């Protein structure tokens, strides 16, 4: 493993007065997985944009396959064999999966006869290689985030890339899908590909990487073999201090039942016969594989796809939730999986996002009470330690962890009794993850009933008081925290174990 396919030497990049990268050296060799880790804001995204030709460095050199990039040129980087796979999929939502896979893979004149059969066959083969059970003729926009991620990976494989950049490739995947992807990474390494692997999942990094580079404040503070490193070593290098606990779970007083579902069903989303309850002060984890119905259940509870069968009680009262507006009035709040599409509005300010769900309450006659809006936003910024230059800063300019805090503020402003969190720490760094976990526990301590959906087994096991496991649109088992193990949860999710009584 000696051939460098990609080499950066002394790379520096500034945006105005902000120094994003400070003399960074980084390289990756043929047949190697080189992990790049660091907190959000450490410089990882800027480094990736320089590798892919989106930005030119202010100083330093970038060499790909022996050729130096002397300007920002994404097309040249792609021709030299660089294929980025981003955390947020970049598919064309109105086109089919097969058409998306054709981009960058098919050559020839614009006006040419398309071999539709060959296009479909290639798409089918690439999807099978990554283990995606996706219809090539489906519109990309209709796919779940995890499925879109697999399509992105299939497209990179089809391009026969020499340098594959994987940015949080398993963030939206459940355990079995993540295992399939990691096996694929091993296969790519064996075939001679050079892989830059970016992930906040540290066990995954230590398992897959040959080498690890840690970025902190724009500088590469550590580069070396992954063998012999521990999670504690990486965390210490990333944050410059010991992290006391990623999962700060503590024993809390559990109150009355806040939400109870009996036989809840929704034919449109595949939710069927769900029995579930969560109490005030309790964190109920919702586990299962992608496609098990976890998000669909959350959407049904919140009225996005209303239930057509069963009974729902909120604080003891039978409620029929036909819309999010009715859900909010009943005391429900929902922070969805894809925060950039549904959790926050990136172009709007911190203040506007934090109060978006209570605009009616902020009216002063026909006008918005701007002073009250800023007062409420200021309270949440302080309470959640949201790091933002000002209340007027667009949320798009914040780190992933701070965006998630703003999304939480938006819904907590409605003063709910039940909070549904779908993948609350997806794609955020280890420091921000610990902060969000502490915040979730604090909210439970205040008496909020929390339903937490997560594809990360350690998060489910580390944060939940009880865990409900879903498969094929229904809850197959509910386990007490003390009875739950990763093996047991996975077996239940796969249908390899008999359901347990709660």
Tell me the C-alpha distance between 143 and 139, whole Å. 7
Q: What's the pLDDT at 312? A: 97
What are the boundaries of each domain within the chain?
A: 4-239, 254-331+418-424+444-502, 335-415
Q: Are β-strands 271-279 and 257-266 bridged in parallel, bridged antiparallel, or unpaired?
A: antiparallel
Looking at 52-113, list the stretches that DSSP marks H as alpha helix, in order from N- to C-terminal side: 74-79, 97-102
Q: What's the pLDDT at 502? A: 44
Count CA within 13 A, CB hemisphere, residue 426: 25
What are residue 194's DSSP bridge partners?
A: 32, 163
Fold category of 254-331+418-424+444-502 in CATH:
Rossmann fold (3.40.50)
Tell me the C-alpha distance between 153 and 136, whole Å. 14
Q: Give the CATH class of 4-239.
A: alpha beta
Q: What's the pLDDT at 270? A: 93
Q: Are 169 and 199 in contact (CB under 8 A)?
A: yes
* CB atoms inside a 10 Å sphere around CB 303: 21
Q: What's the pLDDT at 501? A: 45
- Tens digits of pLDDT across the chain (502 residues): 458 899 999 999 998 877 889 999 999 999 999 999 987 678 898 999 999 999 999 999 999 999 998 888 998 998 899 999 876 678 888 999 999 888 767 665 566 678 888 888 989 998 888 778 889 999 998 988 778 878 888 888 777 789 999 988 887 676 777 888 888 889 889 989 999 999 888 889 999 999 999 998 899 999 999 999 988 888 788 876 554 556 777 888 899 999 999 999 999 999 999 999 999 999 999 998 777 899 999 999 999 999 999 999 999 999 999 999 999 999 999 998 866 666 688 888 999 888 888 888 888 778 888 888 898 989 989 988 888 889 999 988 888 788 888 888 888 888 999 999 999 888 777 777 888 898 999 999 999 999 999 988 888 988 999 999 999 899 999 999 999 988 888 788 877 655 444 4
């Amino acid at each position: 493993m000696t051939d460098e396919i990609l080499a950066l030497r002394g790379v520096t990049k500034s945006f105005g007065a902000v120094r994003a990268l400070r003399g960074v050296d980084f390289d990756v060799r043929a047949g190697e997985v080189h992990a790049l880790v660091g907190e959000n804001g450490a410089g990882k995204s800027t480094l990736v944009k320089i590798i892919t030709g989106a930005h030119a460095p202010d100083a330093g050199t970038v060499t790909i396959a022996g050729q130096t990039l002397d300007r920002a040129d994404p097309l040249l980087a792609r021709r030299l064999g660089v294929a980025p796979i981003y955390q947020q999929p970049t598919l064309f939502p109105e086109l089919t999966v097969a058409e998306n896979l054709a981009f960058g893979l098919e050559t020839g004149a614009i006006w040419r006869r398309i071999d539709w059969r060959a296009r479909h066959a290639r798409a089918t083969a690439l999807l099978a290689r990554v283990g995606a059970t996706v219809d090539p003729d489906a519109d990309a926009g209709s796919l779940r985030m995890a499925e879109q991620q697999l399509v992105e990976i299939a497209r990179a494989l089809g391009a026969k890339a020499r340098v594959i950049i994987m940015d949080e490739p398993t963030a939206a995947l459940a355990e079995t899908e993540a295992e399939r992807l990691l096996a694929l990474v091993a296969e790519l390494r064996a075939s001679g590909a050079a892989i830059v692997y970016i992930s906040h999942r540290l066990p995954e990094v230590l398992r897959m990487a040959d080498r690890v580079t840690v970025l902190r404040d724009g500088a590469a503070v550590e580069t070396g073999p992954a063998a012999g490193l521990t999670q504690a070593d990486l965390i210490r290098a990333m944050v410059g201090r010991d992290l006391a606990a990623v999962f700060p779970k503590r024993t809390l007083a559990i109150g009355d039942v806040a939400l109870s579902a009996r036989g809840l069903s929704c034919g449109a989303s595949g939710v069927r016969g769900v029995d579930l309850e969560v109490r005030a002060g309790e964190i109920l984890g919702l586990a299962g594989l992608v496609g098990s119905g976890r998000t669909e259940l959350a959407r049904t509870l919140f009225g996005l796809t209303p239930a057509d069968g069963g009974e729902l009680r909120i604080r003891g009262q039978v409620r029929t939730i036909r819309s999010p507006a009715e859900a909010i009035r009943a005391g429900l709040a929902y922070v969805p999986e894809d925060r950039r599409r549904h959790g926050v509005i990136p172009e709007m300010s911190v203040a506007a996002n934090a109060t978006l769900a209570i605009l009616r309450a902020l009216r002063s006659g026909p006008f918005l009470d701007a002073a009250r809006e800023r007062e409420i936003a200021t309270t949440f910024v302080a309470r959640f330690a949201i790091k933002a230059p000002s209340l007027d800063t667009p949320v798009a300019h914040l780190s992933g962890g701070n965006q998630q805090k703003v999304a939480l503020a938006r819904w907590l402003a409605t003063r709910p009794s039940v909070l549904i969190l779908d993948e609350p720490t997806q794609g955020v760094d280890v420091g921000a993850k610990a902060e969000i976990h502490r915040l979730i526990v604090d909210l439970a301590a205040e008496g909020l009933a929390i339903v937490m959906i997560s594809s990360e087994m350690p998060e489910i096991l580390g944060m939940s008081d009880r865990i409900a496991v879903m498969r094929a649109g229904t809850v197959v088992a509910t386990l007490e925290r003390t009875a739950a193990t990763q093996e047991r949860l996975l077996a239940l999710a796969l249908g390899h174990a008999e359901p347990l009584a709660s």
